[in-house]
Structure 1
Amino acid sequence: MIPTTRIFDGHNDVLTRTLKAGGVDAADKFLAGVKGHIDAPKAKAGNLGGGFFAIWIPTIEDLDDDLTLMEAPQYDIALPPATNPKNALQICMEETAILFRLEELGALKVCRNAADLRNCLENGTMAAIMHMEGAEAIDADLHALEVMYRAGLRSLGPVWSRPTIFGEGVPFRFPGSPDTGGGLTEAGTRLVRRCNELGIMIDLSHITEKGFWDVARLSDAPLVATHSNAHALCPHVRNLTDRQLKAIAESDGMVGVNFAAAFLREDGRMLSDVPLAQMLRHFDHLIYVLGEDRVGFGSDFDGAIVPREIGDASGLPNLVEAMRAHGYDDALLAKLCHENWLRVLQKTWGA
């Protein structure tokens, strides 16, 4: 039996943070505690049972500078250029090695099916879904996809907020519409179809609206955005319109609520003074449009500035208690905390 408020989370950037801190040699620090949002002690304190561990290729530009620019009332940050494929593959291998080192240390288990995930959430082992945020390391012939799938890859976003050979991502812009560029390329079409065949979940966070609709037409799996919010409440280009949300509902997919301040606040600013009541407005709206079986957590821990009342993974109980005080009963809390992710992953993976 999984505890009611055991949290499974739709997105974190632990692997990239560890890469920057020293790579595989720095992985053991995760057990004792590190500067950042997630480590073993913080996860235990926050009842965080696991999540999607993103393999992400850092930009040449300093992302911290972009976060500073996003503190302004309005901003339009240009998309970074496409990444060199050989460099992307090397970094992908390094971050994958970090994930397996964490598993070797006993910090987590890489889950390849729904039974693995459920068992981890029941027994208290941190569950890790190997996820790729932006497919820069995947070649047009999809050879790397085949290898990564056999290594454990079970979730993939065709793009981050920059172009790939598969499609385009949205920029960091406020205010704005997610309709910012082109859709899937021919290679992107092949990628989606092969992911469907393998049972790799396709993540629609970061993709343009045209790309979203291309995936919706092509994919036979539930539509999922692991870490996105409601555009109706915060008109940031990273957020999803109600029309997109309705398409996700019709596919029986789901959305993980992103904790990044800029995607929560009505003014789109990346500032941490976000009341939990504002987060609950996004939960309420998503539940209203998608239904209570299709909403979960998608924190973006270690990749964004999050509300001060949460701070890091150890502060998750503050959000859960706010949800309870807001009127969410135990049955709904269990769905939002982990059951909905279990449902959509089992439906996507088929096991």
Structure 2
Amino acid sequence: MKFIDLHCDTLMKTAEANKSISLLENNTTSVDFKRMKKGGSLAQFFAVFLPTEEMFIENVGEIMDDDIYINTLVNTLKREIGENSSMIALAYNYEDILRNEKNGRMSAILTIEDGRSVQGSLDKLKHYYDMGIRLMSLTWNFENCFGYPNSDDKEIMGKGMKKFGKEAVEYMNDLGMIVDVSHISDGGFYDVAKISKKPFVASHSNAREISPHKRNLTDHMIKTLAEKGGVAGINFAPHFLQPDTTTDRSTVELMVRHLNHMKNVGGEDVVALGSDFDGIRGELEVDSIHKMPMIFDALEKDGWSIGQIEKLAYKNTLRVIRESM
């Protein structure tokens, strides 16, 4: 079964101090090109996650300017792809993915997680688009020029998009850059739903009805996302899967439970994959990209048809790409 994964943080690992990581093959990350191919990957969304100052110091060894950091990680992926061009190629739209597949290549799609570096400038958004960025997670865990994050603080959670954020969503629609609402406040989610003329995504978010973490989606959000033609990518992180958000174990059984709930609430066209590989910790049953078929096998045993599994695995996300990029 081929598949598309909407989110991994693997590029972050390539910037860690005193490490040399090959994206072709390594023993450090959950994602590399050889394991992608072994698992059946059609396309992988590679995120440039913007660390906090503390994370920069701890992992990179120094604080870097956001744009220098973005350029570094983008160039790393482009270099690694160039060195393995018979296996994988960058994709900037739906046609590129189909062309790469026809030529026996997987696709890599660039994203940014946390739009803070945009700094309220539509010109910066266009600059990132021209670099090859095709999806942006509007916020991470802090307020930025777009709006506010998910939070246990009800006041923050209820806040919507800022004026620039609303303008930016419209502009991203025009550019062909997918809007990602994972990490955003509930108020921000509903603003995006009102404004966006194209399908948007929650690239790595689960069902709040099962796991009450505020990063997850309420049933009403899942329905709204489905009505807008978007998808939610199942996140493999234990604290987004477990009913007890302090528990540190991620299982296929829990993924199946979330996916059944999301499918029952929003329909079979809303479910997708968003592993969050290399951005999550814990005891992971699916701890590598090549193990993705374990989920498909479990869903088939649970009664999902092959057609429904194909929608989850790649068809739903491919439709969003076709309509949004």
- What is the CA deviation profile of residues 259-316 of structure 1, one whole-angstrom value per residue up to 9, with x for unaligned ones? 11110011012512x3322110111011112211221111001110266321211221
Aligned-pair CA distance for 1:120: 3.0
Q: For 2:13, which of 13, 17, 21 is the aligned residue?
A: 17
Aligned-pair CA distance for 1:223: 2.8
Aligned-pair CA distance for 1:150: 1.6
**Structure-2 residue corresponding to 1:251:** 228
Q: Is residue 40 from structure 1 mapped to residue 33 from structure 2 by the alignment?
A: yes
1:184 partner SS: coil
Give the distance between the partners of 2:264 and 2:316, measured in 1 at CA: 15
Question: Which stretches in structure 2 are left out of the alignment for 5+ residues?
Answer: none
**Cα pair 2:229 2:270 within 8 Å, conserved:** yes
CA RMSD of aligned residues (A): 2.3
Question: Which stretches in structure 1 are left out of the alignment for 5+ residues?
Answer: 66-83
**Kindly, what percent of the aligned residue pairs are identical?**
32
Give the distance between the partners of 2:83 and 2:179, measured in 1 at CA: 29
**Structure-1 residue corresponding to 2:71:** 93
Structure 2 vs 1, CA of residues 256 and 179 (structure 1 numbering), >3 Å: closer, same or farther?
A: farther
Amino acid at match of 1:45: K
**Cα pair 2:135 2:180 within 8 Å, conserved:** yes
Structure 2 vs 1, CA of residues 263 and 222 (structure 1 numbering), >3 Å: closer, same or farther?
A: same
**Structure-2 residue corresponding to 1:170:** 150
Give the distance between the partners of 2:218 and 2:193, measured in 1 at CA: 14
Give the distance between the partners of 1:177 and 1:318, measured in 2 at CA: 38
Q: Is residue 145 from structure 1 mapped to residue 145 from structure 2 by the alignment?
A: no
**Cα pair 1:192 1:215 within 8 Å, conserved:** yes
**Structure-1 residue corresponding to 2:292:** 316
Amino acid at match of 1:19: A
Aligned-pair CA distance for 1:22: 6.0
Aligned-pair CA distance for 1:159: 0.7
Q: For 2:94, which of 114, 132, 148 is the aligned residue?
A: 114
Give the distance between the partners of 1:340 and 1:178, measured in 2 at CA: 34
Following superposition, which runs of at least 4 residues in structure 1 exceed 6 angstroms of deviation? 176-179
**Structure-1 residue corresponding to 2:46:** 53
Larger deviation: 118-127 or 145-154? Answer: 118-127
Give the distance between the partners of 1:121 and 1:284, measured in 2 at CA: 29
**Cα pair 2:148 2:156 within 8 Å, conserved:** no
Tell me: higher relative CO, structure 1 or 2? Use CA pairs within 8 A at least 6 residues apart.
1
TM-score normalised by the chain length of structure 2: 0.91
Aligned-pair CA distance for 1:181: 5.0
Give the distance between the partners of 1:179 and 1:241, measured in 2 at CA: 17
Give the distance between the partners of 1:122 and 1:292, measured in 2 at CA: 27
TM-score normalised by the chain length of structure 1: 0.84
Structure 2 vs 1, CA of residues 184 and 99 (structure 1 numbering), >3 Å: closer, same or farther?
A: same
> Paired residues, what number?
318
Q: How does 1:164-313 map to 2 (within 5 A)?
A: 164-171=144-151, 180=157, 182-272=159-249, 274-305=250-281, 308-313=284-289
**Cα pair 2:6 2:204 within 8 Å, conserved:** yes
Give the distance between the partners of 1:320 and 1:249, measured in 2 at CA: 21
2:65 partner SS: helix
1:51 partner SS: strand
Give the distance between the partners of 1:179 and 1:345, measured in 2 at CA: 31
